[in-house]
Structure 1
């Protein structure tokens, strides 16, 4: 391990005023860890676009954090998407996480919106025309569920990067070898942009199994055994979750990984504990 890693955090937009207050508490709790950026997601089918815009604009205006706004192709024509990104640019937001997005629940497979961007590569190219954004895109160590093959998935990643993306943030995974094999495949394919592992601390194992089934991520049998019987024991579950995610990150750091993106699920305690285990200390502590 050569140095203290660089980190970033992902949040989802709150559903109501109480959720928004909790989000700001979470941001305040994690801000001292000095994230490179904090990202705010869209809901399914782009359903929280306005709320996401309001939150990232407020983060930019009222905090010392650098926000990254998620943007998808779902449910909007190109002109609408371009207008959203221009509004962000005018508000001083310079980082976008560009994703194809998933079809709203119950509507079947993803289909491009008539007159919209068909995929994340087209969206990335469109963002480049709006402004000189820093653009992160998604990457899938176990391939996207809609991809016909791992090779096709890598080709799609290359198209996104060739369209102007800055880095790729991976879907979550639970074993270091999953990411390391993917990194090797990317290198062999001539992909040399930064690959940032996406880390999901397990707060609810049953939910993680559902998420994983939807996105094609593998949940190892040892994890099921580790979390078995902890549904009604949140304190032990949180300790196990922090230890498991920390061990994953430390194994990756031993292989030269220096950047991590944490899917926080708006729960700061786990992310804070993992950061400390990786040597990332709050700025207030560091200055003491």
Structure 2
């Protein structure tokens, strides 16, 4: 990986500065939520939206369950964000177990609800561990879904990217070819799967550039609050878990608040190193919990927009 002079200066300043106190805050953030299943979870979600919205995110996205299992809840959540907040709302949409007509209908409903941004994904099989099979009458993959959405309306579209290669891709070159097809079909940017070390992203960024792809690649950040759960998720999506992370979380199983503090520290350190390497956009997988993402953004210099404007005045 090659650093520019500015990046070397930023790295030097990061070492000299009092930890996070003087980070410029010149970054753009976005947040991901999942549709709530219960009234209690719904209250938690809306508390999280209220906490994070003053940070002025570029958008917030809401996930879509396997096989459209959360279709109505996803739509209701996205539509309410679009209706009741000033935050641009993005809806996840997948190809799994639905015809093109059914998917197009969902997209039309989003457009009618004022949603202009779709996160277009192939999606995972509804049965964990099963091999993905395209629906006979559906979109065969994410690139086809992007093209189909663009035929309907001028949606802004984000797609996924895999720094450590999608488990279903034959190799890294094939994975990059698939990313290029999705972007060529009309997607604006790619958001990565979560990863645990900054060099993972930097190597991928270099590979993307070498493949002739110049679209925005946004790192997806997953604060690790439950090591066992993240280890399972990492195994499913081919994400390497460093040995030091297991050692760090050992003995914290019965100390939830301590895990939160460790999680915030780790994620903030990852973001700080990415920032030192020139990264200025971040997408946080919040798991519907605001405080971790809010704390990390605060350490990166992001402040509530109203407060920042008042200080400037």
Which deviations, in whole Å up to 9, do the C-alpha atoms of 1:185-217 show, x marking residues without a partner?
A: 000000000000000001111100011011111
The partner residue of 1:146 within 165, 168, 171 is: 168
Matched with 2:260 is 238
In 1, distance between residues paired with 2:26 and 2:248?
Answer: 28
In 1, distance between residues paired with 2:156 and 2:136?
Answer: 27
- Post-superposition shift, 1:106? 4.7
Matched, 1:119 2:144: no
Instruction: Number of aligned residue pairs: give it.
Output: 288
The partner residue of 2:272 within 238, 242, 250 is: 250
Larger deviation, residues 38-47 vs 76-85: 38-47
In 2, distance between residues paired with 1:107 and 1:170?
Answer: 21
In 1, distance between residues paired with 2:59 and 2:35?
Answer: 16
Matched with 2:239 is 217
The partner residue of 1:53 within 75, 88, 108 is: 75
- Post-superposition shift, 1:174? 0.7
TM-score using structure 2 length: 0.90
- Post-superposition shift, 1:44? 2.4
Runs of 4+, deviation exceeding 3 Å: none
- Post-superposition shift, 1:46? 2.1
- Retained in 2: the 8 A contact 1:14–1:20? yes
Larger deviation, residues 39-48 vs 71-80: 39-48
TM-score using structure 1 length: 0.98
Matched with 2:28 is 6
The partner residue of 1:85 within 107, 122, 137 is: 107
- Post-superposition shift, 1:41? 0.1
Matched with 2:88 is 66
In 2, distance between residues paired with 1:195 and 1:224?
Answer: 28
- Retained in 1: the 8 A contact 2:25–2:302? no
Matched with 2:197 is 175
Matched with 2:216 is 194
Larger deviation, residues 121-130 vs 107-116: 107-116
- Post-superposition shift, 1:154? 0.3
The partner residue of 1:271 within 293, 300, 311 is: 293
In 1, distance between residues paired with 2:116 and 2:66?
Answer: 23
Matched with 1:204 is 226
- Post-superposition shift, 1:105? 2.1
Q: How large is the Cα RMSD of the aligned pairs?
A: 1.2
- Retained in 1: the 8 A contact 2:159–2:191? yes
Matched with 1:166 is 188
- Retained in 2: the 8 A contact 1:11–1:266? yes
- Retained in 1: the 8 A contact 2:25–2:303? no
The partner residue of 2:117 within 95, 98, 104 is: 95
In 2, distance between residues paired with 1:35 and 1:76?
Answer: 31
Which deviations, in whole Å up to 9, do the C-alpha atoms of 1:59-117 show, x marking residues without a partner?
A: 10111111000000001100000011011111111100000000012571110011000
List alignment gaps of at least 5 residues for structure 2.
1-9, 11-23
In 2, distance between residues paired with 1:30 and 1:118?
Answer: 35
